[in-house]
Amino acid sequence: MIAVEYEILGLALTFENLELIFIALSIPFLLVGTFLKMKYRHIFMAIADALFAASWLFLIPHYYEMPDWINVLLVIGAALLFGYLAFHEVLNFLFDEDLAAMDWLAHVGVSTTGVYFIVSKVEILSSGLIWFVVSLSVGILQIFGYDVDVGASAATTCPGGVCYPVEAGFSHPNTPISIVLACTGIQASLLLLTSIAFTKPNRGLWEKWADRMRGEYSTKHQSAGPFMSYFWRWRYRQVRRLQERAGWMRKIISILLVVPAVFIANLFRNSAVIYVVYEGIMSFELSHNIIAKFYAGAVLVVLVLIVFDHMPEVQENVMTLKDMLFRIKPGMVENGYIKIEDKTKDEEDKEEEPEEEAEPVEKPKKASRKKSSSKKKGKKKPSSK
């Protein structure tokens, strides 16, 4: 972190101090806005989101100094996102409306960031987690006979916290790599964990969709070829299990599927970066700051889709954030979600009614006409004779 100090109320503060102050200030407003059951709760939530958005901006100098332009863009995006939420909290107050997705994202964002910073500031927690991750990362390479090991028995000081260096048993031209807290995958793990934990199960959001999907998958299974029939049968069973499971069970299954997957994928990411850098295949900036980030992003997208498959309520919350772009007037919120004027249920039912009520063409009548015409021709033949 850049050690630029600003004097506020007689205190010399760095960007890191300001970031922590803004996060700490946002938490009381978030708690009041969560438990206050009246219209003015949205003012507290708007202040919490605005403070949290500002806290992200203080990370820009840190990533700019590295330099890590992808993280700079992500930090700016996070600040804009929570500023966007603050704006809609003001609309909630003015329109006297409630959006479930906004409360969900505020809790996810603040809890994820809060836990991360607690771990980062408690050295016994951060150093223990880093040592565990770096030991497993080099252990993967050691399985394949690669001569690397943890370079210190105790954590050393690095910019922004503590770290463990990775030492190779051979000479290489590159700077030794050190594993920091951000390399443990704790952010992605917390993000997925809190996204699932703070989601309220609501079967009414997706029950009719599930019934429709089961019908479609059953039809496709019957008409598909040998290979695809197994796929559509698997999808049918997935939806059926989704309907059979309770909300708490779906939460537990989702967490057990994605959180360990994030941890394992991150271990292979660390091992790959160590290998390609120490072998001189590519630079640390290219492998870590670009390629590894795209890899992590792709893994995260796949895991989010898995969460959507087991917790459709999470998908509904995410889609509501997109639908909020079209919120232009009061009365567009229904049962905590944005109501987009698209095809209504009545219109869809009207489209299906003709197919159900359509009568087949009366083919027997056509056949009777042919028979009558043939009879007429038969009558003409004797007359010709």
pLDDT of 173 reads: 64
Lowest model confidence (mean pLDDT) among 1-15, 229-243, 331-345: 1-15
Q: Return d(Cα 128, Cα 82) in angstroms, integer.
A: 32
- Specify the higher pLDDT residue, 136 or 14: 136
Q: Return d(Cα 103, Cα 217) in angstroms, integer.
A: 35
pLDDT of 12 reads: 53
Most confident of 26-30, 214-218, 302-306: 302-306
pLDDT of 63 reads: 80
The pLDDT tens digits of the residues spanning 184-239 come to 999 999 999 999 999 998 888 888 888 898 888 888 888 877 778 888 888 888 88
**Other Cβ atoms within 10 Å of 253 Cβ, number:** 16
Model confidence band, residue 170 (pLDDT cutoffs 50, 70, 90): confident
pLDDT of 347 reads: 46
At residue 6, the 3 state secondary structure works out as strand
Burial class (CB in 10 A: 0-12, 13-18, 19+), 42: buried
pLDDT of 156 reads: 81
Task: Give start and end residues of each alpha helix (H) in 177-246.
Answer: 186-197, 207-223, 226-244
Check whether 32 has a pLDDT greater than 60. Answer: yes
Domain ranges of the chain: 1-96, 204-242
Nearest to 310 by CA among 261, 230, 248: 248
pTM of the model: 0.76
Q: Return d(Cα 185, Cα 107) in angstroms, integer.
A: 20
The average confidence (pLDDT) of the chain is 81
Check whether 367 has a pLDDT greater than 90. Answer: no
Residue 170 φ/ψ, nearest 5 degrees: -145, 165
**258 with 299: CB under 8 angstroms?**
no
